[in-house]
Amino acid sequence: MAALVGLKLKGPHPNSYSEPRMLAIELILRILDELHISPTLLLRLISLSSPSRIFKHRPATLQANYTALSSCSLVCRAWSAYAQSLLFHSIVIPHGDGCNFPGAFQFLVNSTTQKDVWLASCVRLFVFPTRFRGKITQEVSDGLFKALQSMQGLRYLEVWGGSCTFTNYQLKTLGTESCPKLTSLSVNLDRYGDTQATSIYPQEWFHQTLSCFPNLQFLEISAITFTTVHPFETAHKLPLVSLVLNIRRISDIEQFVKSLLRQPDPHYTGLETLEISSVHQLSVDQEASLLVQYSGSLRSIAMAFNGGAKNLQLCTRLRHLAMYRYPSANILELLPRGLEELHIESGQTRSLEGIQLPDIGPLLQEVEKLPCLQKVIVSKFEDEGQYGDLRALCRQRGIEFITSRESVETLNENDVRTQVWHKLLD
C-alpha cells in the first residue's frame, strides 16, 4: 500500500526536511485516486453506517458520531459538497419535554444564506417531535411549515398530526412547491391534551395533509390511545406500496384501507406491503376479506391471524410473512410455496411448572416443503434446545436462522422502516 501512494513509512526522508504526515482520510483519498475508484462510493457506505443527525437545543449539538463524514468534508472540494450533503441527509428532532420549539431547528426554519438553503435542500429524512412542553400553539405549526418549505428534497416525514394545522394555502404550497418529492409519511393521530375541552384531534387535519401529497408510496399511521380512526368520506386514491397501521381502534378497517388506495392501473400494480399491529384485533371475516382484496399484489404481510388465514394461498406473490403468534398446523399448511422469509413467535409460555413449549413438528414439515425459503426468524426466543431441530434443518438447507428476544412487531417494523430509509439514497 505504501508503494502504491509513494510513501516511506519507515526511515528518514532523503531530503533535508521531513515530509508532513498525511491524515488517514488523505491516505484513503490517494489510494482511491490511484485505483480510479469514485470517492462517492465510500461516502455512501459511511453514511449508511451512521445514525441520523440529531438536533437538540442548538443545531451544533450532535448526539451521533459524525467524525468520519466531517473529516471527509474537510479533505478537498471534490469531497466537501458530497460529504456535507450526507451529513444533513437525516435529521431527527427528539420528542419530549426537553424540546423547546423553535430553537431546536432554527437552522431549518430560518435558512437565509445560500449555504443554509442548500444544506436544507439536502435533507431526505425528517422526524419531528410528537410532544412539546405546554400547549401546542399556531407557532409550532407555522415553524414546521417554514422548515418543510426549506427541505425541497424531502422524501420521508415523520410527524405528529396535531402539529400539522396548516391552512389550505400552506397545504397547497407544500404539495406543489415545497415538498413535491415526498413519498413516505409517518403520522401519529393520538389525541393530545389534559382535558376534553383543550384536546387536539389530529384526524381533523389528517385528511387535508394527505390531500397535498398525492404521490405517497409509504404510509404509516399510529393511534394507540383511545382515538377511534374512521374511513375517509372522500377516497384519497394514493399509489401506496407499503401501508403500516398501528391503530387500536378502527371503525371499519376494510373501508379505511380502501379509502386510502387507488385502483391498480398500468402505472400502479397495487399494495405490496401490509402490516397491521396486533393491538387492533381483526375479526376472521376482516382478515379473510383483506387477503382476498389485495391477494394479487401483496408481497409482504404482518398481522396476528385470528383465523382468516385460509386465504393465504391466494397470495401467490407473497415473499415475506410475519405472524404475531405461533402458527397452528392448519395455518402452516396454507403457506404459499413461493415464500422466502417466515417470521413467527416462539410460542413459549411461562407457568409455575416452567416454560411451556409448542409442538414444532408441523413447522419442521412445512419448512421442508417450502422450496424458496431463505430466512426463518423466531421472536420472543428463550429456549435454545426447543428449536435445535429447526436450526439443524435450516443449516442443512442453507436457510438463514435467526432468533431474537424482541417481538415480531418490533423487528418487522424496524425492517420495513430500514428498507424505506435505504431507498432514500437512490
Residue 122 lies in a domain: no
Residue 287 lies in a domain: no
Number of neighbouring beta carbons within 10 Å of residue 163? 25
Banded model confidence at residue 181, pLDDT cuts 50, 70, 90: confident
Q: What are phi and psi of 276, to 5 degrees?
A: -120, 120
The rounded distance, in Å, linking the Cα atoms of 385 and 388 is 5
Residue 167 lies in a domain: no
Q: Where are the alpha helices (DSSP H) in 130-268?
A: 138-150, 168-173, 203-211, 253-260
Three cell numbers at 293?
Answer: 382484496
Higher pLDDT, 129 or 96: 129
Question: Mean pLDDT over all residues of the chain?
Answer: 73
Q: Where are the alpha helices (DSSP H) in 174-283?
A: 203-211, 253-260
Region of poorest pLDDT, from 74-78, 115-119, 209-213, 394-398: 74-78
DSSP β-bridge partners for residue 320: 300, 341
Residue 373 lies in a domain: yes
Residue 345 lies in a domain: yes
Cis preceding linkage at 102, omega within 30: yes
Residue 34 lies in a domain: no
Give the amino acid at 351: S
pLDDT tens track for 70-120: 555 665 666 666 667 777 777 777 665 444 544 445 666 666 778 778 878
pLDDT tens track for 144-158: 888 888 888 889 988
* Domain extent for 74: 39-48+59-88
Residue 329 lies in a domain: yes
The rounded distance, in Å, linking the Cα atoms of 407 and 202 is 29
What is the pLDDT at residue 243?
Answer: 93
Domains in the chain, number: 2
Residue 363 lies in a domain: yes
pLDDT tens track for 45-69: 444 444 444 333 333 333 333 455 5
Number of neighbouring beta carbons within 10 Å of residue 34? 12
Does the pLDDT of residue 14 top 50, yes or no? no
Q: Residue 11: which region, alpha, beta or left (left: phi > 0; alpha: psi -120 to 50)?
A: left
Higher pLDDT, 387 or 401: 401
The residue-averaged pLDDT of 323-340 equals: 88
The rounded distance, in Å, linking the Cα atoms of 158 and 160 is 7
The rounded distance, in Å, linking the Cα atoms of 311 and 305 is 11
